[in-house]
A and B are shown apart, each in its own frame.
Chain A
C-alpha cells in the first residue's frame, strides 16, 4: 500500500471518527467504533504497522479537532485504540484464514473497552466501582464489533475485487 493511500485512509478514519462523535448517544463516552473499519481494512491489506499508524493518527488528529488533545478522553482513546489494534494485528496473524475480520473486530472491540476501563479505573478515577462497568462495556462491544467487522470484511472484499494489491 502506497504512503499516499495510507495517508488518505488515515484521513478517512479521522473524518469518520469526527462525524461519529456527533451522533447522539445515551452516554457521551459511547461510540459505535465505525472508524475502526478503516483500521481493520488497513490491517487486512497492509499489516499491523500500517494499521497502528492509522489508529494513532486518528486518535491524535481526531482529539485535536474535538479540542480534547491531551485530555482524559484522549488518553482513554489512545489506550483503547493501540490495545485493540495490536491485539487485532496479532490475532489476525495467528488465526490466518480461520477468522474473518468479523472475529478479529469482535476481539478488538473487547480489548478496546477493557483497556479504556483499565486506564479509567487505575489512572483517572481510582474508584473500584468503575470496574462494575466492565460487563456493560463487554456487552456493548459485541454488537459494535460485529457490525464494524462485517462492514470491514465487505469493504476489503470489494477492494480486492477491484484489483487492490493485497500487500503492495
Chain B
C-alpha cells in the first residue's frame, strides 16, 4: 500500500475559504432581510387581501380552487388549514421575513411577506 494521503494543504485552504464564504453568506442573508410588515395574499395571481402582521387574526380565503385559512399571530403568518390534497402550504409553518412566501399550487394561492408599502425595490444597498 502506498501512503494514502489524499488531501493536500491547498485542499484545506479551498475548504476554509468556501466555509468562510458560506458563513458570510448566512450572516448576510439573515441580517439583510428584516421582518416584514404586511402579507399580500393572492389567488390565481390576483391580489385578494393585504394583512398587517401587527394585527392578529384568522381569515379564510375561498376561491373556485379551494380554501386556505391563514393565521396572523405575533408578527408572523401561516396557513393553518387548506383544502388542498398535499398540505405543503400548512406544513411550511410560520413566515415573517420580507420576501418569504407560502405557496399552495393546487389552490393557486400564495402569501408573500413584504415591508411597509409593498415591494418598491428588490433590494437596497447602503
Contact = CB atoms under 8 A, between A and B. Distances in A.
Interface of A: 95, 97-100, 102-103, 106-107, 110, 127-129, 132, 134-135, 138-139, 141-142, 146, 149-150, 153-154, 157, 161
A100 B11 CA distance: 7
A100 B8 CA distance: 6
Given A98-B9, A127-B99, 13 more contacts: A98-B10, A102-B6, A103-B8, A107-B18, A110-B18, A128-B99, A128-B122, A132-B99, A134-B29, A139-B22, A139-B26, A142-B15, A157-B2
B33 A132 contact: yes
A129 B110 CA distance: 14
Interface string B11-26: 1011100110110011
B19 A107 contact: no
Interface in B15-62: 15, 18-19, 21-22, 25-26, 28-29, 33
Contacts of A161: 2
B11 A106 contact: yes
A138 B25 contact: yes
Contacts of B22: 135, 138-139, 142
Contacts of B7: 100, 102, 150
B64 interface: no
Contacts of A106: 11, 14-15, 18
A127 B110 CA distance: 14
Interface of B: 2, 4, 6-11, 13-15, 18-19, 21-22, 25-26, 28-29, 33, 99-101, 122-123
B96 to A, nearest CB: 14
A98 B4 CA distance: 16
A97 B25 CA distance: 30
6 contacts: A98-B9, A99-B10, A100-B11, A106-B11, A132-B99, A138-B21
Contacts of A153: 6
Nearest to B33: A132
A129 B29 CA distance: 10
A159 to B, nearest CB: 14
A150 B14 contact: no
A154 B4 CA distance: 9
B123 A99 contact: no
Nearest to B24: A135
Contacts of A128: 99, 122-123
Contact of B19 (A132, A134, A142, A157): A142
B6 A154 contact: yes
A97 to B, nearest CB: 8
